[in-house]
Amino acid sequence: MTAPTTNEAVRPVAGAHFRHVAAIQMEGSKRKRALALIAAFRDGGQEIVTTGELANRLGWHRAQAHSIASRLRADGYLERVSPRRWRLSQQLLADVEITRQAANR
C-alpha cells in the first residue's frame, strides 16, 4: 500500500476492509459508521485516521468522535497510534485476511 503525499487527498473506498466491517454485528450505529469509515480510508490507502477527520466526515464534534473511537479501541477494533490518531487493530486486519483467503479457495 503506497502512502499518499501530504497534498494528496485520500478518498474512502468500499473495499475488503469496509465489507468485512459492514458484516460485523455490533451495537451502536455511530460506532459502526465510524469503524466503517476508518476501514474505507484503509481501503483507499490511508492507514491512520485522525479524530478530526472522523468528526469532519461524520458531522460530529471532535469529542464525540474521540469517545466513539475510544470505545471501538476498548472493543478491540481499533488501535490508538497517538492521542488523536487511530488505525484498525491487528486482529481485525488478520480477520479480513482470513476472510479474503477463504473467499479465494
pLDDT digits (tens, 9 = 90+) for 26-35: 999 999 999 9
- pLDDT of 11 > 50? The answer is yes
**Domain count across the chain:** 1
Under DSSP, is residue 82 helix (H, G, I), strand (E, B) or coil? strand
Going by DSSP bridges, is the β-strand pair 49-50/85-88 parallel, antiparallel, or unpaired?
antiparallel
Inside any domain, residue 67: yes
Separation between Cα atoms, residue 14 and residue 28, nearest integer Å: 20
Beta bridge pairs of residue 49? 86
The parent domain of residue 51 ranges over 16-103
Separation between Cα atoms, residue 75 and residue 26, nearest integer Å: 10
Separation between Cα atoms, residue 16 and residue 69, nearest integer Å: 21
- pLDDT of 5 > 50? The answer is no
Inside any domain, residue 8: no
Inside any domain, residue 69: yes
Phi, psi of 8 (to 5 degrees): -95, 120
Inside any domain, residue 95: yes
- Tell me the pTM: 0.88
CATH label of the domain that carries residue 75: 1.10.10.10
Inside any domain, residue 9: no
